[in-house]
Amino acid sequence: MVGFANSKINIGLQIVGRRSDGYHLINTVMYPLKELADVVEIVPSNFTDIVMTGLELDVDRKNNLVFKAYELLARDFGLQPLMFYLHKNIPHGAGLGGGSSDAATVLKLVNNLFSLGLSDSQLEGYARRLGADCAFFIKNQSAYATNIGEQLSEISLDLSRYNIVVVKPNFEISTKQAYSMVEPQKPQVDLRQAVSLPLEQWRDVIFNDFEKFLFKKYPQLQQVKRQLYAMGAVYASLSGSGSAVYGIFEKKIDLTQLDYPFVWQKFK
């Protein structure tokens, strides 16, 4: 059984507080990039293991969220072993949600393979135990996320008529590292209202709070963002805690102008 674990971008990200356990409170809009996706295949086996191909993933196989997602369901339902084949197209440490999407896709695939009958709400419950943005990939549709990113509400947002370019420099940023650098602040706008504005106005009102801190440590990120705007982006931003930066364009872009290790384009 095969599934496609797509990526996401964050449109605005506000860091608004910190819980007593150290986790930060955020507001953000998540939008699925269904064309940029990993491929996950599950096959019944005599033992559980994973074979990984595609982009390099600097994660121990047994600590991969694919395993952790399977183990959650295996413990509760006594499932037989599975062999996992994971082909990575989404870069790691980029703020694109690749690992979380892989995990959510495994939950959905295992649910279908073994006819567990779990609802989306139940699958989201399992996903929240794996990571803050895992639950987003269960329904896999535009959402406004709050708390630590796991509380989701539907939002109307359709960017299908635009081209989206994703650029990742030659370094990764761990989520833990990124959050260690930030300070919560009171949001200046309501993101739910801001994303309903014409796209041309987003540049002036929608911001990712990580940029203020990460652009100082990683000037190349700001360079990428400026380059995307110079190439005609209507809106450009860091995704999540980076290190990927995306631009939204009204036309197809000549990617040869972008000399970075990972450059991807979804075009209409």
Instruction: Check residue 230 and give its pLDDT.
Output: 97
Instruction: Check residue 59 and give its pLDDT.
Output: 72
CA distance 116 to 76: 11
Instruction: Check residue 103 and give its pLDDT.
Output: 98
- Catalytic (active site) residue 133: yes
Instruction: Specify whether the CB–CB gap between 52 and 26 falls below 8 A.
Output: no
Instruction: Kindly give the pairing relationship between strand 49-54 and strand 82-88.
Output: parallel
Q: How many CA atoms lie within 13 A of 120 on its CB side?
A: 7
Kindly name the residue from 8, 88, 168, 266 that is annotated as catalytic: 8
Instruction: Check residue 57 and give its pLDDT.
Output: 79
The CATH topology of domain 2-154 is: Ribosomal Protein S5; domain 2 (3.30.230)
- Catalytic (active site) residue 212: no
CA 4 to chain centre: 14
Q: Of the CATH numbers 3.40.50.300, 3.30.70.890, 3.30.300.30, 3.40.50.1980, which one belongs to the domain with range 163-266?
A: 3.30.70.890
Positions in the chain short of pLDDT 70: 267-268
Q: How many CA atoms lie within 13 A of 33 on its CB side?
A: 27
Instruction: Check residue 26 and give its pLDDT.
Output: 97
Residue type, 208: N
Instruction: Check residue 241 and give its pLDDT.
Output: 94
Give domain limits for the chain.
Answer: 2-154, 163-266
Kindly name the residue from 38, 88, 108, 133 that is annotated as catalytic: 133
